[in-house]
Structure 1
Amino acid sequence: MRTIPVSQVKPGDQLAEDVLTKFGSVLFRRGQRMTAREIEILDAFLIPSVQVLDEGEELPVSVVEPEPEPTVSPFQEAFDRTVRTLKKAFDAVRCGEPIPIGELRGNLEELLEHIGEYHILSPSGEKDRKKAEDAVWRSSVEVALTSYQIAVHLDEISERERVQVALAGLLRDIGNAKLPLHILEKPGKLTPEEMEEIKKHPILGYQLLQPIAALNRGVKLCALQHHEREDGSGYPMGVTKERIHPYAKIVAVADVFHAMTSDRKYRKAESPFVVVEELYRQSFGKLNPKIVLAFIRRVTDLQVGTTVQLSDGRVGDIVFADRREPTRPIVNVGGVFVNLATERNLYIVKVISRSPTP
């Protein structure tokens, strides 16, 4: 095994170690034999040198370390605790008892201390071990965290207000606690009559939160307005952008994203990248464009180094993400660079693993 400058790499040379880009993603795997095209790619990515095997040398067998027992991170503990308290809040409403706002806020503030561990593309982690009936609660906590991260990118939302924005996301659907369980838990699509019942939850939520002095006006209006749209096509009031509170505009974006990227009883989850494209389309009239762009920036920040599956079944690592087209990065598939910005028939359907936090 020897290290040589890229200028000395010849077709047929076999890599002894993985070659990484400056972003830390894998460009070529150990064991791959170089071709003229792959040597050009090494030059294009300004790779100074690589390790190759000597002639006749065998690739050393990798020693696989035993995986440690899974541990629950402080983020996951705080996340699960917030989920449990949110369920308690809904139960309290159904029993006619006060909503435990102080406990909810305390749990949320503790969770926000670990916001750096939250990733929109793989938000709550370990979803497979969660019971299916917890999905709605996890989604509400994810909406709260995503709303907080969007607020960080908006100058008009002060640092002090960010927790209130997160609380608005957490409590946006509290009105559902006043709806019949047979509608909320129906396994199939709702009838038009049932949908009209569901559309009452914003008003019911606003009525529940209105007397609570510990909540500011934005949190209460968010419960009422998070399904309103800038062109007046939303519900329950059909108001236009001038009358929608900023908190509700933020939470609306997070709510649409998590609704579309979560499994439902009557449909499968969409790819987050496909959903971002849909959000971008909705920013022309329905959702606030500035807030959508702030959200897209957050998604784009997480792309480079992420392993994804394309619509044709191939798997590769994102090596470049253009903020102008955040859902259409360049993906390295076994040394072949697929530019989704030009190959419009392809798209990302699944995130296999996210890039490590810098």
Structure 2
Amino acid sequence: MNRKVQIDIDACKPRMVTAETIYSDYGAIIVWENTVLDALTINRLKIFGVDKIWVYDYGMTDSGSEGPQSRSEAEMFIESYENDAEQFKEILHDLSVGKTVSIEKTVQIADSIYAKKDQRRQIIECITQIRKVDEYTYYHSINVSMLAMLIGKWLRLRPEDTHLLVQAGLLHDIGKSRIPTEIINKPGALTEEEAAEMKKHSEYGYYLIQYMDGIDRRIQEAVLYHHEREDGSGYPMGLKGDQIPLFAKILAVADTFDAMTAERAYKSKNTPFHVFQLMQNDCFGYLDTIVLNTFLSNISHYYIGNKVRLNDGRIAEVIYINPQQYGKPVIKIGDEYVDLTITKGIKIQELL
């Protein structure tokens, strides 16, 4: 059994593993036991004023490290994320010039994404922080596939189904490769004709992937139906409720969250808390209740412990998520605890 040792926070190195759950001064969990530390997590502990932590001794050197270290886990995650986006960019480019793409290329990217399935916190931090406005479609597809993967795991889908869901997330907007670039990147509101053309992307995508040998039917359905809504107000078929396949319901939630939190040429990004509020209050009746609740109840708790900037400029810390109002947590401002479901006029402006 590995020995536990207590070390100074300044001696922490990436790849060390926490031996005990780390709490803030008032009892909120900052880092779970058995977490592999990376540079971002270590810095977060320093921000919270943590002086010492317990880690497992895997043959550490006198300097407190595990010996020579390569890149941190966070750095490797971001590098893999960027590589996935570049690989997917090539697929979209090939399709835009009329080339046929094999399912194997998509599966390779899906394998890379699925390998990150247990790195939930890094997935969520990555989606929240990493955006390239001018390459939105590529990063959006990667983000939706990762969010769909998390939802699949939270719904306890079989691993093979979750892997298919990752592929569906990657391909859900593939039809946009046939939409004129001036419509895709237009900085202002679309005209009625442009909006009608944009809505055809799900059908274009469905037709494109027909040429991929061996593609699963559920992926095809998810690409075609991910804009269908529970009340029948979606497109292209106006399906309702149980007529909509589960994969499409999951993609609808993942797609909505990523689109709402993204910064685009025509809008600034929303905070996750603002999006939680919009999705919880405005999307019932449109998005599947079970999928939406599963998503919001799980993802919101990853923001406990986050530092945030308020609309009055003050800095606060998220300490509790209210399940009745995911977008209005209890926060701590200095020594004061503020319940945003009760206190009016205070809003979370930005994640720090």
Q: TM exceeds 0.5?
A: yes
Q: Secondary structure at the match of 1:349?
A: strand
Query: How far apart are the structure 2 equivalents of 1:339 and 1:126?
Result: 26
Q: Please give the per-residue CA displacement for 1:30-53, whole angstroms capped at 9, x wherever unaligned.
A: 7xxxxxxxxxxxxxxxxxxxxxxx
Q: Please tell me whether the aligned partners of residues 79 and 124 of structure 1 are also in contact (alpha carbons under 8 angstroms).
A: no
Question: Is 1:90 paired with 2:92?
Answer: yes
Query: How far apart are the structure 2 equivalents of 1:252 and 1:19?
Result: 36
Query: What are the equivalent positions in structure 2 for 1:95-110 lying under 5 Å apart?
Result: 95-110=97-112
Q: Secondary structure at the match of 2:281?
A: helix
Q: How far is the alpha carbon of 1:229 from its aligned partner? A: 0.5
Q: Please give the per-residue CA displacement for 1:103-134, whole angstroms capped at 9, x wherever unaligned.
A: 2222222232223334465224763xx65322
Question: Is 1:145 paired with 2:150?
Answer: no
Query: How far apart are the structure 2 equivalents of 1:207 and 1:150?
Result: 26
What is residue 215 of structure 1 aligned with on the other side? 215
Q: Please give the per-residue CA displacement for 1:38-92, whole angstroms capped at 9, x wherever unaligned.
A: xxxxxxxxxxxxxxxxxxxxxxxxxxxxxx9996622212211110111111111
What is residue 27 of structure 2 aligned with on the other side? 22
311 and 100 in structure 1: CA distance in 2 versus 1, 3 angstrom threshold? farther
Q: How far is the alpha carbon of 1:149 from its aligned partner? A: 0.4
Q: How far is the alpha carbon of 1:283 from its aligned partner? A: 4.2
1:194 is aligned with what amino acid? E
Q: Please give the per-residue CA displacement for 1:240-299, whole angstroms capped at 9, x wherever unaligned.
A: 122111101000011111111101111111121111111112442110010001111222
186 and 321 in structure 1: CA distance in 2 versus 1, 3 angstrom threshold? closer
What is residue 225 of structure 1 aligned with on the other side? 225
Q: Secondary structure at the match of 2:338?
A: strand
4+ aligned runs moved over 4 Å, structure 1: 68-72
Pairing partner for 1:123 from 126, 136, 140: 126
Q: How far is the alpha carbon of 1:223 from its aligned partner? A: 1.1
Query: How far apart are the structure 2 equivalents of 1:148 and 1:106?
Result: 15
Moved more, 343-352 or 114-123: 114-123
Q: Secondary structure at the match of 1:285?
A: coil
Q: Aligned-pair RMSD on alpha carbons?
A: 2.6
93 and 251 in structure 1: CA distance in 2 versus 1, 3 angstrom threshold? same
Query: What are the equivalent positions in structure 2 for 1:260-271 lying under 5 Å apart?
Result: 260-271=260-271
Q: Secondary structure at the match of 1:96?
A: coil
Q: Larger Rg: 1 or 2? A: 1
Query: How far apart are the structure 1 equivalents of 2:114 and 2:343?
Result: 39
User: TM-score, normalized by length of structure 2?
Assistant: 0.77
2:135 is aligned with what amino acid? D
Q: Please tell me whether the aligned partners of residues 328 and 339 of structure 2 are also in contact (alpha carbons under 8 angstroms).
A: yes
Q: Secondary structure at the match of 2:318?
A: strand
What is residue 320 of structure 1 aligned with on the other side? 320
160 and 313 in structure 1: CA distance in 2 versus 1, 3 angstrom threshold? same
Q: Secondary structure at the match of 1:116?
A: coil
Query: How far apart are the structure 2 equivalents of 1:183 and 1:252?
Result: 22
User: TM-score, normalized by length of structure 1?
Assistant: 0.75
Q: How far is the alpha carbon of 1:143 from its aligned partner? A: 0.8
211 and 224 in structure 1: CA distance in 2 versus 1, 3 angstrom threshold? same
Q: How far is the alpha carbon of 1:96 from its aligned partner? A: 1.6
Question: Is 1:133 paired with 2:134?
Answer: yes
Q: Please give the per-residue CA displacement for 1:276-323, whole angstroms capped at 9, x wherever unaligned.
A: 111112442110010001111222220221111223322111122233
Q: Please tell me whether the aligned partners of residues 229 and 239 of structure 2 are also in contact (alpha carbons under 8 angstroms).
A: yes
Structure 2: state its 5+ residue gaps.
Answer: 1-22, 31-44, 50-68
Q: Please give the per-residue CA displacement for 1:10-48, whole angstroms capped at 9, x wherever unaligned.
A: xxxxxxxx972333559x987xxxxxxxxxxxxxxxxxx
What is residue 236 of structure 1 aligned with on the other side? 236
The size of the alignment, in residue pairs, is: 294
Q: How far is the alpha carbon of 1:169 from its aligned partner? A: 1.1
Query: How far apart are the structure 2 equivalents of 1:19 and 1:73?
Result: 26
Structure 1: state its 5+ residue gaps.
Answer: 1-17, 31-67, 353-358
Query: How far apart are the structure 1 equivalents of 2:132 and 2:332?
Result: 35
Aligned residues with identical type, % of pairs: 28
Query: How far apart are the structure 2 equivalents of 1:293 and 1:287?
Result: 10
2:75 is aligned with what amino acid? S
What is residue 190 of structure 2 aligned with on the other side? 190
2:28 is aligned with what amino acid? F
1:151 is aligned with what amino acid? G
2:140 is aligned with what amino acid? S
